[in-house]
Structure 1
Amino acid sequence: MDLEVKGVAASPVSQIQPFSGRKKPLQQGWTSKSWTIQNPCLPVVPRLDLGSLIDSDDEDKFSNIPLSTAHIHFNPPKSSSALHWITLHQKPSSHHHLSELEEDIIPENLPETTNKYKLKYQQYKTEMKEGYKEYSQRNAEKTKSNITHQQSPRNKIDDKCVQGEEAIMDNLTTLDRKALLQQGYADNTYRAPWRTRKSEAEIVTAQKKKQTVEEQVMIDNLSRAVISDPEQNLIIEKQESAHILPDSKMASLRFKKRTLHETKIRTHSTLTENMLSYKVQFDGRIISRNGRDACRELIGFFFIHDQSLTVYEYRQFGKNRTTVLPFIQKHVYSHQHGRRKGKQYQLGDFYIGADLTFLSAAHPRLPESVTENTLLTLRITNIDQVALNSLKTDSVEHEDDITNQETNDKLVLKAIQDVLKEQLCNRGVRILTGFGKYLQQMDKEGNGLLDKADLKQALKVFHLEVSENDFESAWLVLNSNDSGKVDYGEFKRAIIGEMNEYRKAFVRKAFMKLDFNKTGSIPIIDIRKCYCAKQHPQVISGHSTEEEIKSSFLETLKDACSKSDEVSYGEFEDYYEGLSIGIVDDEDFVSILRTPWGI
């Protein structure tokens, strides 16, 4: 069936000749002129008049091309082989018009451009130069701001620090600017999905650790407590004394009754699973400059039934071998430092950031590096808040005068920290690392204690301006035992402040990854191998190379070290403590640690 649409006839498929790509020979006697005479209905392309293409002030007026010779027809010839006709005769028609164009002569004496176009071109050239100049200036300012103050707009410091930013930036040294380059990682969000997955995996791993430790605690207190209870010996001796003959003590050992404790006997201290279930679980760390002790994974429990507490250490050897050992034996303990010294631990003493103090001499099984100090201080880094809230509703604890005094002490120290924060906005790394080294050098006795004059001198050397009244208030808080000396590490934490435990957890995680041999210090060569600057914004934008960013980090870190070839945990923590002062958001600080160290 033949179809005809808009005057074009459709021929059967057999009549359509596909285009083969080769030029077919023309029929005998056929010429382009004779073909044109036989087909007068075909359109003719008008000739191109190059002489009319001249510059004129009348831009909207086009030159009229005479179309007297043009014959335009919109109705193609009606034929059953229309498609065949178009395919066969399209090329000769093009050849005919090309031959006509070759006969035209292109004029060589074209007129010059008018003054109007010259003026427009000059204006365009001037605008382009000015625009490029402004663009270059903006880029230079942006690059300078990134180098001197790598901080996103949403993470700016408080208004007081911003107002004095110009004066502070004038006092920055080259070392300060190199340290501030690390803040550039806070703007990098290149691995958001990967970070989310890794955080979820870390949470699952931490829950498994806590479950393992909790099971071990229950085993130790339920199965072993009966055997190790001293009361068992007294009961057994009373039962056997009624049946033992006077001369039986002289009998041979093989005739004596040798049995384990009678586990069926119920003593006063016998525990049940229900009694042990009322507890608060918390994570802790040792406040120490020793890397091995500071990175110990400690998990503690406070039991409500007898107000006792215990702390266990989770240790991992390789990938598959783990062990759980008691670090602080289960017992009733009291505060050994501060305003609550001598008071028994209660439920209100357990919260994130709280310090638990113990006498090292009372725990002979502790590591030697811990027993070197008189006091062992544990900082609570995380706690089971659900269990804590549930137990607090059941127990009734009244606030006493000591609680009010501790609140006032915190307010006094917080006011001093706010004043010093303005002075440490961009110079935190250099001042904190140098301040720690200076205090350590002043400690001639090596016991970690300094008097009032030494601490005043240290503040004066590093231009940390603290008023006399504020200093005396801080001294009264820290020197609660009237010994005339205070721990300079505690003094530094009190007046300068500390980053929160969430940030410190990532600092310890980075240090543990770098400390391959678990020695408590990291060789500089290992830090150079592990530090990766590929994702630093300056490297991505091409303003700096990986080696430049790495060198700037190592240079500022080495300045904090007492040894040129290794970094201790305390020095590593001081570096990031100073960097943390100028960063408000916790996740930005975590990015600074995650990105270069891959944690």
Structure 2
Amino acid sequence: MDLEVKGVAASPRKHVPLSSKKNKLAQGWRTHTKSNHGPRPAEVPCLDLGKLGDSEDEDGDTYIPYSAGEPHTDPLQSSSTISWGTPVQNPSAQHYDIQQLSLWEQKTVPENLPPPADSYKLKYQQYEAEMKEGYKEYSQRAEEKKAKNSQPHKTPGKIIEEQPKNKTDDELTVLDEKALLQQCYASKPYTTQHNIRKLEAEDLATERKKQAVVEQVMIDQLSRAVISDPEQNMRTDTCEKDLMFPGLRTAPLRFRKRTLHETKIRTRSALTENMLSNKLRFDGRLISRNGRDACRELIGFFFACDKSLTVYEYRQFGKNRTKALPFIQKGIYSHQRGQRKGKQYCLNDVYIGADLTFLTLHHPGLPESIKQKPLFTIRVTNIDETAKAFLKTFDVENEKHALRQEDDGKNIFRNIQDMLREKLSKRGVRTVTGLGKYFREMEEKQNGILTKADFKEALKMFHLEVSEKDFEALWLILDDNSDDEVDYIEFTHAILGEMNEYRKAFVRKAYMKLDYNKTGSVPMIDIKKCYCAKKHPQVLADNATEEEIKSSFLETLEDACRNPNEVSFCEFEDYYEGLSIGILDDEDFVNTLRNPWGI
């Protein structure tokens, strides 16, 4: 039947009865494919199905013909024409494809292939010789390693004893020898390019942090309007105009003149952005035995316009939220101890290593751990040298009151430290950690009071002989209040010396990585997890295993701790304070922290 829709003629189609279709499906394959398909193009080769047969290479899958009882899901597909570009998915076609693929995968060598040239033969012989030599070296190393593992390992203490430089020192103990293993970390852990990228990333993060604090300081100081200044309440001329009734000291509230302050009045807090821009930015840290307080990130500002200063704390809440909070409110402060006690802070008082002392009574918002003592000290760790040089050109007053960096007290400290440095170069860890542990135990027994006799007894116990004259001069400098009370940390630093702020910055960074919750103490199990000895020279030379180096470090650290299950900040700092005595170069000391802790 011919159909025509909208002028388009439809091709005639034969209607086959349904019963005949079922009979054809029951027969399996259709024999007359030519009647169902269109004409074969000339470029398509004829498919000879007679050559296909069963072979042993088949995977066992056989063709299962259609049964007459199976329903046909798409009856229209059998009656429609199929073009030559449409792949027919039937088992025989899949089998043919697999057989053709296996023929292509066979590696056949043509008979007319030319022989290889002499240069290629020579290259192949060299390659074969190199492979044999490499395999021979690998076998030798494997045998040596197997023989070494069969022998008992040497302890780290014995490794140190075999070194000729330590044979003559009779004062060394096993703990001293194990502590000296940490001084071997002198190699750089990173490549030059990696180190440059790491430093650039750290500098960028530090600059962003300081910029955020600067913006917060400017916002806090400039948002305080004159109308809310407390000095406005001190004006008495407006009170005289209020209506006064006889017999009443003050007028009733409904008759008082309640108006806003006159904003034209200039007060001392009426600062501008230009006035606040002349400032010196410095970094600081709290000198405290509490690890949580000692690791606070403090950023201070000294303003040249009114000789005032303020200190902010940079805090991070969670992963992405940060905040700059005032730690010391902006004000004019003075020295609370030392030779300049009572004198106002000036520009020359802010330098790297300077101690800024404050009274806890003047700062009620401080944490309770800091309020336990009447004084607290902030050590300046870094300053903006460019800003200081710029401010010095306009500040003539500070030039007259320049501080002497080398006074008599520092000379006395240096003489005592030089006298004891040679003795402490080998046993510095044991001495510094032992002194700190001894003084902390004495403080608990005597309710936090250490007398002059206690310090003398401690020096005698740890074999730190100091003449009576030097001890009296030292005590006179430290006990500036003449109350016979000296903090043992100041006494220890005066006797044994102290790390510079560059080294201490890396010690604090390593501890802050371990104490990620900022609790002030780190469990010993976290120390074991984070300490890495892969880059230790003894491990690289196959003279010791990683476990031996790690156990030597943990043993010396546990000996310095009162509680062997946790490490406080002061104990961690004392350990590296003693280790620092025997390392002269700053970069070598920094590598002793970068290699095992990955900072």
Do the structures match in fold with TM over 0.5? yes
Distance in 1, Cα, partners of 2:589 & 2:542: 23
Partner of 1:349: 349
Partner of 2:492: 492
Q: Give 5+ residue unaligned stretches, structure 2.
A: 1-108, 118-154
In the TM superposition, 1:183-194 aligns within 5 A as: 183-194=183-194
In the TM superposition, 1:197-212 aligns within 5 A as: 197-212=197-212
Distance in 1, Cα, partners of 2:338 & 2:162: 40
Distance in 2, Cα, partners of 1:456 & 1:167: 31
Q: Give 5+ residue unaligned stretches, structure 1.
A: 1-18, 24-82, 88-142, 152-161
Partner of 2:123: none
Distance in 2, Cα, partners of 1:424 & 1:487: 22
Q: More deviation in 221-230 or 568-577?
A: 221-230
Give CA-to-partner distance per residue, 1:562-591, whole Å, 9 cap, x none: 101100000000001011111111111111
- Report the alpha carbon displacement of residue 387 of structure 1 after superposing the two structures with TM: 1.1
Give CA-to-partner distance per residue, 1:350-395, whole Å, 9 cap, x none: 1000000011111111000000111110000000111112222332
Give CA-to-partner distance per residue, 1:462-482, whole Å, 9 cap, x none: 111222222122112112222
> For the Cα contact (< 8 Å) 2:156–2:552, is it kept in 1?
no
> For the Cα contact (< 8 Å) 1:339–1:406, is it kept in 2?
no
Q: 2:252 aligns with which of 250, 253, 257?
A: 250
Partner of 2:224: 224
Partner of 1:540: 540
Distance in 2, Cα, partners of 1:346 & 1:464: 38
- Report the alpha carbon displacement of residue 149 of structure 1 after superposing the two structures with TM: 9.6
| TM-score (ref. length: structure 1) | 0.69
Distance in 1, Cα, partners of 2:253 & 2:488: 64
> For the Cα contact (< 8 Å) 1:149–1:180, is it kept in 2?
no
Partner of 1:482: 482
For residues 401 and 535 of structure 1, do their structure 2 counterparts lie closer, same or farther at Cα, with a shift above 3 Å needed? same
1:148 corresponds to 2:160: yes
Distance in 2, Cα, partners of 1:179 & 1:482: 39
In the TM superposition, 1:530-569 aligns within 5 A as: 530-569=530-569
> For the Cα contact (< 8 Å) 2:335–2:357, is it kept in 1?
yes
- Report the alpha carbon displacement of residue 166 of structure 1 after superposing the two structures with TM: 5.5
Give CA-to-partner distance per residue, 1:231-273, whole Å, 9 cap, x none: 22345x7447636575995356xx9887765545432431111
Aligned AA for 2:241? A
| TM-score (ref. length: structure 2) | 0.69
* CA-based RMSD: 3.2
Aligned AA for 1:415? N
1:358 corresponds to 2:358: yes
Give CA-to-partner distance per residue, 1:5-35, whole Å, 9 cap, x none: xxxxxxxxxxxxxx97699xxxxxxxxxxxx
Partner of 2:420: 420
Distance in 2, Cα, partners of 1:405 & 1:510: 31
Partner of 1:332: 332
Distance in 2, Cα, partners of 1:149 & 1:390: 56
Give CA-to-partner distance per residue, 1:172-229, whole Å, 9 cap, x none: 1111111111122212444443222111111111111111111111111111153442
For residues 264 and 504 of structure 1, do their structure 2 counterparts lie closer, same or farther at Cα, with a shift above 3 Å needed? same
Partner of 1:9: none
- Report the alpha carbon displacement of residue 428 of structure 1 after superposing the two structures with TM: 0.8
For residues 145 and 552 of structure 1, do their structure 2 counterparts lie closer, same or farther at Cα, with a shift above 3 Å needed? closer
For residues 547 and 473 of structure 1, do their structure 2 counterparts lie closer, same or farther at Cα, with a shift above 3 Å needed? same
Distance in 2, Cα, partners of 1:171 & 1:275: 61
In the TM superposition, 1:509-524 aligns within 5 A as: 509-524=509-524
Distance in 2, Cα, partners of 1:372 & 1:564: 27
In the TM superposition, 1:99-498 aligns within 5 A as: 147-148=159-160, 169-224=169-224, 226-235=226-235, 238-239=237-238, 242=241, 249-251=251-253, 263-397=263-397, 403=403, 407-444=407-444, 448-498=448-498
> For the Cα contact (< 8 Å) 1:355–1:377, is it kept in 2?
yes
In the TM superposition, 1:550-589 aligns within 5 A as: 550-589=550-589
Distance in 2, Cα, partners of 1:431 & 1:309: 39
Distance in 1, Cα, partners of 2:539 & 2:296: 36
- Report the alpha carbon displacement of residue 402 of structure 1 after superposing the two structures with TM: 10
Give CA-to-partner distance per residue, 1:37-74, whole Å, 9 cap, x none: xxxxxxxxxxxxxxxxxxxxxxxxxxxxxxxxxxxxxx
Distance in 2, Cα, partners of 1:170 & 1:545: 27
Aligned AA for 2:160? T
Indicate the percent of aligned positions where both proteins have the same amino acid: 62
For residues 447 and 218 of structure 1, do their structure 2 counterparts lie closer, same or farther at Cα, with a shift above 3 Å needed? farther
Distance in 1, Cα, partners of 2:565 & 2:259: 59
Distance in 2, Cα, partners of 1:423 & 1:456: 18
Distance in 1, Cα, partners of 2:207 & 2:298: 14
State the secondary structure of the residue aligned to 1:425: helix
> For the Cα contact (< 8 Å) 2:284–2:298, is it kept in 1?
yes
Partner of 1:597: 597
Distance in 1, Cα, partners of 2:455 & 2:480: 16
Distance in 2, Cα, partners of 1:499 & 1:530: 24
State the secondary structure of the residue aligned to 1:187: coil
Q: More deviation in 400-409 or 363-372?
A: 400-409
Give CA-to-partner distance per residue, 1:142-178, whole Å, 9 cap, x none: x999953999xxxxxxxxxx9xx65863321111111
Aligned AA for 1:576? Y
> For the Cα contact (< 8 Å) 2:295–2:508, is it kept in 1?
yes
In the TM superposition, 1:89-108 aligns within 5 A as: none
Question: What is the aligned residue count?
Answer: 450
Aligned AA for 2:298? L
Give CA-to-partner distance per residue, 1:441-475, whole Å, 9 cap, x none: 22256665422221111011111122222212211
For residues 300 and 228 of structure 1, do their structure 2 counterparts lie closer, same or farther at Cα, with a shift above 3 Å needed? farther
Distance in 2, Cα, partners of 1:207 & 1:146: 47
- Report the alpha carbon displacement of residue 498 of structure 1 after superposing the two structures with TM: 0.6
Distance in 1, Cα, partners of 2:161 & 2:252: 86
> For the Cα contact (< 8 Å) 2:156–2:178, is it kept in 1?
no
For residues 522 and 188 of structure 1, do their structure 2 counterparts lie closer, same or farther at Cα, with a shift above 3 Å needed? same
